Structure 1
Amino acid sequence: MNDMNGVLLRLAVVVGLVVSAAGAATVPAAAESATTGVSDTDESALDTGRVSAIDPERVAAEPDAERGGSAALDGRSVTAQVDVEGPQTSDEFLAAFRELSGQGSLETYSEFEVIRTQAVVSVQAGDFEDADRQRMRAVLRTLVRFDEAYQAAEEGDLSGSLQSAETTRESLSELESAGGTQYSSLAGVALDRFFRSLGDRFEERSREDISTPARIDALERAGEAYRAGGSSDRFAEVSVRAEQLASAYERDREEMNESIAAAQAFLGQCGDTCAGAVSAVTTHSTGVFGLYSDARAASAAGSEAVRIAETHNLERTEELQSLADESSSTLLSLAIGSALLLLAYAALLAVPTMLIAGRISLWAKDRRAASVGSILTPMPTEVRADVE
């Protein structure tokens, strides 16, 4: 309800601005052309700084070069090259305001076009005093800064656009101080709408396939834009989402850093000596068994770091993948080295084991033979003598 009241109040200011400008020009037709979006006035109507009349048909018939410059010739909108500090006279301000005619920013946000049109009327109405010069410079600065913000958004530079829009907001305070409250109130309506559109675009960017830090930044910028545009509900919503995402990312980042530290510490400890199975066994001998256990933990840590990096779409993913591959390669070398060392030990133990087993086998055989001999009774032998 407060937002609706604010909009209605500002619309009332628009009507007051148009009416006051019409009175300053003393020409009803000028006010009518301004409220209906007439983009410029006829320079030939100047007579010692006063407008006698504005011909709508003649204004509508002006060529594009007079009304919008080359910016609209190819259907594209480019940033107007206007020197804000340059104009000093009413004619110079008139030329500067005419230079802004046809800009996409003013066409899209018609409130600024109304401001430009009324400024054109004002610089031609009556004497041009220092106060008028200060006020028109503030108007010109506001229009140029907003055009920069609009063009930056059109080019995809949302952060730059947000910064320029905030600078435009600062210009409104200067405009109020210069006696242009009606102008600043009208500009505030358009600027609030522009901020909200920036918030929408930042929120859309947060849904793209970007890294989690970039997504968090987009949500935070969306919150800033919504807050500047007076949309407190959207600001609260995206702020909560940004905080939740930042909290989850911080936990994963700490886990990832711990995994990276563990893998790097192991590889630093093992060094080149673990690059091959033979060198690992030669250098560490029986220590390869302990290193193999450490290598398994380091390999798991490296794989976990890669998983977290991929989950958050981080640029370090390739770097961490190399670390994980090195850890896995070292693990394989130590596994082969451990197997070779076990085979060597088995071979060394095999010979004495076979000798001992052979001796035991012979002993058992002799013992069985002795046991069999002890239970046999010798048979009596009959001696026969040949009798002749």
Structure 2
Amino acid sequence: MRIINNRQTVVLMVSIIVVSLLAPAVAPSATAQEPESADDYFNTLRGMSDLEIYDEYSELETLHTQSLTGVQVGEFTDEQARELDAVIATIRQFEEAQAQFENEEYEAGFETAADVQRSISELETHDESLAALSRLALTRYYEQLGSELASRAEQADNTPTEIELRELAAEAYRGANQPEQAAEFTRQVEQLRAELSADREQMDDAEAAVGSLTESCSNCESSTSAISEHNIGVIKRYQPALQTSSMITDAVQRANRHGLSDRQTSLEAQANTAKSIRLSIAIASTTILVGYGLILGLLVAIITSRLFAWQRTFEAANVDSVVAVGDSDV
């Protein structure tokens, strides 16, 4: 009997120790729980009475007021608790979405707005009128977001950013139930993408042309080396060099038009290379042409002088012949 009593005592002591260890861990989780009673919901909603979000969206203030009044009337049920959970989630998510909008975190704002939509859908299963109020506020949020994104797109300093902003604006206008505006911005996005794609192809072609030029005309960055390397063949390289220089200059302008600063810097360096080669080939070609011109001129001068000499000799011979005939007649 004494052994059994000792065992019971040990078990009891162990149980007390375990409970004492678990008690501090359990207590905080209880304080972090969501509202459960009518008083809990009332206190939670009352603590949300002076939110700045109501200044921007009066619909949410009406939503809050009606919910605060409703929790004080009648018997509190689980159905009402789920409804108030949806109301509280909607208001808090709206606060987050508006803060993201003001901080220019537009993509995050879209994600939070999607959360708001899910909360409104849950609210709609309990009270359609409150859901309608919330949905009107969400529509206004999307309108505000679309207008801001459209304005930002107009001010964008490069085409990729403009495309991104106009695409987001189209999404915002779809959320605001403005399909015509959404379709217009979608059309603009498609047009800008097509233009950017076409111009990037032109830039790629220009870069390839410069690469081909530098490969085919090695040592052409000075007129002397160009002549030494290619001799008279340098002349036929001038036209391709001229075309390549024109292409790369046009590519620089396209990059500048789209605000592609890194690409523009790279293209400008290649444009300088193409310009240097074109100038060297032009000087080399001119030098060769002038040289050949001088040689040809010298040959022409020699031939011309010989012709004149032959002509004078011929004329002199004719004169002597006439004189000789005259003497014989006498």
TM-score range, shorter chain: 0.7 to 0.9
CA-CA distance at 1:317 after TM superposition: 3.0
Distance 1:200 1:122 in 2: 36
1:159 to 107, 114, 137: 107
Select the residue among 180, 190, 196 that pairs with 2:143: 196
Question: Which is further off, 353-362 or 146-155?
Answer: 353-362
Q: Supply the distance in 2 between the matched residues of 1:310 and 1:109 (Cα, whole angstroms).
A: 42
Name the stretch that deviates more: 364-373 or 277-286. Answer: 364-373
Please name the residue that 1:279 is paired with: 225
**Identity of matched residues, %:** 30
1:100-115 correspondence to structure 2 within 5 Å = 100-115=48-63
Superposition RMSD in Å: 3.3
Q: Which amino acid aligns with 2:292?
A: Y
Choose from 152, 159, 172 the match for 1:225: 172
Does 2:264 match 1:314?
no
**Aligned twin of 1:172:** 120
* Post-superposition offset of 1:150: 0.9
Distance 1:355 1:99 in 2: 111
Letter in 2 for 1:114: T
CA distance in 2, matches of 1:264, 1:133: 71
Aligned length: 294
Q: Distance in 2 between matches of 1:174 and 1:329?
A: 69
Q: Does 1:258 align with 2:188?
A: no
Query: What letter matches 2:324 in structure 1?
Result: T
Post-superposition offset of 1:149: 1.5
Change (3 A) 1:99 1:279: farther
Cα-to-partner distance string for 1:119-155 (whole Å, 9 max, x where unaligned): 4556667787765555444333322222222112112
AA partner of residue 299 (structure 1):
S
Superposed displacement of residue 362, structure 1 = 3.2
Distance change >3 Å, CA 100–CA 328, structure 1 → 2: farther
Which runs of 5 or more residues in structure 1 are unaligned? 1-84, 381-388
The answer to whether the aligner puts 1:116 opposite 2:64 as a matched pair is: yes
Q: Please state how far the C-alpha of 1:287 moved relative to its aligned partner.
A: 2.2
Question: Match of 2:5?
Answer: none
CA distance in 2, matches of 1:196, 1:352: 84
**Contact 1:97/1:120 (8 A) holds in 2:** yes
Distance in 2 of aligned mates of 1:260 and 1:363:
60
Q: Does 1:296 align with 2:242?
A: yes
Normalising by structure 2, report the TM-score: 0.74
Distance in 2, Cα, partners of 1:333 & 1:245: 39
Q: Residue in 2 aligned with 1:210? A: 157
Give me the whole-angstrom Cα distance separating, in 1, the residues matched to 2:228 and 2:49.
Answer: 82
Q: Which runs of 5+ in 2 are unaligned?
A: 1-30
**C-alpha spacing 1:176/1:373, structure 2 compared with 1 (3 Å):** same
8 Å CA contact 1:162, 1:198 repeated in 2: no
Q: Deviations over 1:11-39 (max 9, x none)?
A: xxxxxxxxxxxxxxxxxxxxxxxxxxxxx
Contact kept, 8 Å, 2:150 with 2:165, in 1: the verdict is: yes
Match among 82, 86, 89 for residue 138 of structure 1: 86
Quote the offset at 1:321 in angstroms: 2.8
1:188-207: CA deviation from partner (whole Å, max 9, x where unpaired): 11001111121122222232
1:215 is paired with a residue whose SS is: helix
TM-score (norm 1): 0.64
Q: In structure 2, what is the Cα distance between the partners aligned to 1:93 and 1:242?
A: 47
The reply on whether 1:269 has 2:269 as its aligned counterpart is no
Contact 1:89 1:128 in 2 (8 A): no
